[in-house]
Amino acid sequence: MNMLDSELVVASLRKQGYQLTDSIEEADALLFNTCSVREQAENKTYSHLGKLRQFKIDNPEKVIGVMGCMAQNHQKKIFQRAPYVDLIVGPGQLHQIPELIKKIEQGEGRQIEVSLGRRDGGREEIIRSHESFDPLRDPEMRPTPFQAFIRIQIGCDKFCTYCIVPSVRGPEQGRNPHDIIAEAKHLALHDTVEITLIGQTVNSYKAVDQDGKLWRMSDLLGELQEIDGIQRIKFVTNYPNDMTDDLLCAVRDLSKVSPYLHVPAQSGSERILKRMKRGYTVAQYRDMMHRIRETVPGAAVSSDFIVGFCGETDEEFQMTVDLVEECRFKNSFIFKYSEREGTKGAEMYDDDIPHHVKKERNNRLLEIQNQISLEDNQDMIGHTVDVLIEGISKTAIRKGEDTGPSVQLTGRTHCDRIVVCEGNPRQIGHILPMTIYETSPHTLFGEVVTEACGPELFGLG
C-alpha cells in the first residue's frame, strides 16, 4: 500500500516539475512515507528525522514532510518531537501534497492535513475525510514498470484488537469496479504485464456500480482476465472468512490469476484468536485451507503470524507451531507483538510477554517455516516453471556485477516463488520457462529453457 502511495505522490510532484534525487543536498523537499503497524517502524522514522535536525538549521528553505499512517497516527506529536518538520499529511490527503508544499514555500508556515478519527464523526463524514487517491499512473515511477499495484479497497472495518490500521486508514470502502478496470486497461496499454490488486482484506471486496450491480472479487477477476496484455493477476491480503467458493473457483479457472493466496492466520490458538478478535476459529481456518487445497490443487498459500500476543502461553504458541506444520505455508511473515496505543488490545490486555520470549518464539516459528519452505522448494527441482523476470538480483548489484550480457537475474513464478538465474538484462519484463536445479528455503535457482532445446521436450508446447 505504501509503495503505491509513494508512486502516486512522486507522480503528482513530477507533474509540478519536481524530480527524484538520491542526494538530500540536491533535494528541495524530503518526504518520509511511514508505517504505524509496529512501534519499531515509527521509531525508525523518528530516528531518521532526528538526523535532519542540524541539516534543517543549515538549510531552512528545504521542506521536510511526514506522510502516511504515522502522520495520521501521531499528527501534531510529530511537530512536538521534531519541530523542524514542515508538513504532516495522512494517507487520505496525499493528493494535496504538491499544493501544501507550495504553501510552505510561499511562507504560509507549517501545514497539517489528516482525516477524522474513527470516533470523530458519522461514518459518511469519516469516509469523506479519507479520499482514495489513484489518478496518476506513471510507469517511470515504478522500480519495475511492467508490474503495478492497483488499489481496489481502502481502509478496514475488522478492528482486530492489535491493529492500528482501521484507525489510520479509515473505514473500508470498495472502489468503483469500472474505475479499477479502466486503470488496469490503462496500465496494460503502458506495457504492464502483472497487476496486484491490493486491499487490507482484499477478498472482502464489494462494490455496487452505477447500474446497481453488486461486484464481488470473483466478478472483478473475471473482467480483468479479459484485458489484453495483462498476463498475471495477484491479490493481497486475504481475510480467512471471505475466502468464498466463487473466489476459489475463479482462482482455479482464470488462467491469468496466480494460484497464490496470502491468508494470514495470526495464531493457532482459539483463545488468542478470540482475544485478537479475528472473527474465526482455528477450525474455520483449517476448513478454509481444506477448501483451498480441494479447489485449487497446487496453490501456494502464505500467512502472517503474531507471536507473544498478550497472555500467550507456551501451549498456545505450540498450537501456532502445529498449525504451521499442518498447513505447510509457502512462507510466513512472523511478527513479535507490538502494542499500539489507541487499539482495543492496548486498552484491554497487558503486553505481558517478555521481549526475549517473543524473540525465542519468533525464531522457533521461523525455523520451522523455513524447513517447510525448503522441503517444498526441493520438490520443485527438475520441474519447469514460468518465471516473470523482475530485474537484476540484489547480490549482483551489491557485488557490482550488474552489467554485461550475462548477469544474475531475479523473478517470480506464477505461485510467487522467487527464482534466481543467469540471463541477459533484455529478458527483464518477460515471462520465460525455466528449469529449477537448486533451492534454498526462499529462493529457487533456475536455468532458462532455450528454444533450441525443443519446447515439447519440456512440456511447454
Footprint of ligand SF4 on this chain (CB under 6 A)?
156, 158-160, 163, 165-166, 200-201, 239
Asked if 162 interacts with ligand SAH (CB under 6 A), we say yes
Nearer to ligand SAH, 38 or 56 (CB): 38
Helix axes 177-189, 217-225, angle to 10 degrees: 30
Q: CB-wise, 156 or 448, nearer to ligand SF4?
A: 156
Beta-carbon contacts of 322 under 8 Å, excluding residues fewer than 6 positions away, are: 268
Locate 42 and state its grid cell: 515509527
Quick one: what does residue 37 bind among ligand SF4, ligand SAH, none, with the CB cut-off 5 to 8 Å set by partner type? ligand SAH
Q: Based on C-alpha coordinates, what's the Rg of the chain?
A: 23
Q: Hey, is 328 helix, strand or coil? A: coil
Cβ-based nearer residue to ligand SF4, 162 or 329: 162
Residue 305 Cβ vs ligand SF4, minimum distance, rounded to whole Å: 12
Binding residue (CB under 6 A) for ligand SAH from 133, 149, 317, 337 = 337
Work out what residue 306 binds among ligand SF4, ligand SAH, none; the CB cut-off runs from 5 to 8 Å by kind. ligand SAH
> Closest approach of Cβ 264 to ligand SAH, in Å?
4
> Which residues contact residue 362 at a Cβ distance below 8 angstroms, ignoring those fewer than 6 apart?
307, 308, 334, 335, 336
Which of ligand SAH, ligand SF4, none interacts with 304 (beta carbon under 5 to 8 A by kind)? ligand SAH
State the nearest-atom distance from the C-beta of 411 to ligand SAH, in Å: 25
Contact between 266 and ligand SAH per CB under 6 A? yes
> Cell digits for 153?
479497497
Alpha-helical regions (H) of 280-354: 282-295, 314-327, 344-348
37 binds ligand SAH, rule: CB under 6 A: yes
The answer to whether 133 contacts ligand SAH (rule: CB under 6 A) is no
Residue 335 interacts with which of ligand SF4, ligand SAH, none, CB < 5 to 8 Å by class: ligand SAH
Strand partners, 392: 409
Q: Given the complex with ligand SAH, which of 96 and 153 has the nearer CB atom?
A: 153
Cβ(100)–Cβ(64) below 8 Å: no
**Cell, residue 243:** 475466502
Q: At residue 78, what is the residue type? A: I
Q: How many CB atoms lie within 10 A of CB 209?
A: 13
Which amino acid, one-letter code, is at 83? Answer: P
**Under rule CB under 6 A, residue 4 binds ligand SAH:** no
Burial class (CB in 10 A: 0-12, 13-18, 19+), 383: middle
DSSP conformation class of 257? B
Q: Tell me the closest approach of the beta carbon of residue 366 to ligand SF4, in angstroms.
A: 20
DSSP 266: B
User: Is residue 335 a contact point for ligand SAH (CB under 6 A)?
Assistant: yes
Contact partner, 159, from ligand SAH, ligand SF4, none, Cβ < 5-8 Å per class: ligand SF4
- Binding residues for ligand SAH, how many (CB under 6 A)? 16
Judged by CB, which is closer to ligand SF4: 323, or 428? 323
Range in contact with ligand SAH (rule: CB under 6 A) among 157-165, 247-255, 378-386, 425-433: 157-165
Residue with cell 527438475: 382
- Asked if residues 87 and 64 have their Cβ atoms less than 8 Å apart, the reply is yes
Of 2 and 21, nearer to ligand SAH (C-beta) is 2
- CB under 6 A: which stretch of 57-65, 143-151, 335-343, 374-382 binds ligand SAH? 335-343
Q: Which is nearer to ligand SAH, 59 or 237 (CB)?
A: 237
- At its nearest, how many Å lie between ligand SF4 and the CB of residue 153? 11
Site string for ligand SAH, 193-212 (x = CB under 6 A): -------xx-----------
Three-state secondary structure call for residue 125: helix
* Binds ligand SAH (CB under 6 A): choice among 12, 34, 38, 114: 38
* 158-166, 206-214, 226-234, 358-366 -> range binding ligand SAH (CB under 6 A): 158-166
Could you give the angle at which helices 314-327 and 355-378 cross, rounded to 10 degrees? 10
Residue recorded with cell 519499531: 40
Burial of residue 220 (CB within 10 Å: 0-12, 13-18, 19+) is buried
Which alpha helices (H) appear in 118-173, and where do they start and end?
Answer: 123-129, 165-169
Q: Judging by beta carbons within 10 Å of its beta carbon (0-12, 13-18, 19+), is residue 321 exposed, middle or buried?
A: middle
From ligand SAH, ligand SF4, none, which one binds at residue 166 (CB under 5 to 8 Å depending on kind)? Answer: ligand SF4
Can you tell me whether residue 448 is helix, strand or coil?
strand
Question: Residue 46 or residue 84: which is nearer to ligand SAH going by CB?
Answer: 46
Dist CA 102 CA 157 (whole Å): 35
φ and ψ at residue 190, rounded to 5 degrees: -100, 35
Q: How far is the CB of 169 from ligand SF4 (least distance, A)?
A: 8
Which residues are near ligand SAH by CB under 6 A? 37-38, 162-163, 165, 200-201, 237, 264, 266, 304, 306, 335, 337-338, 340
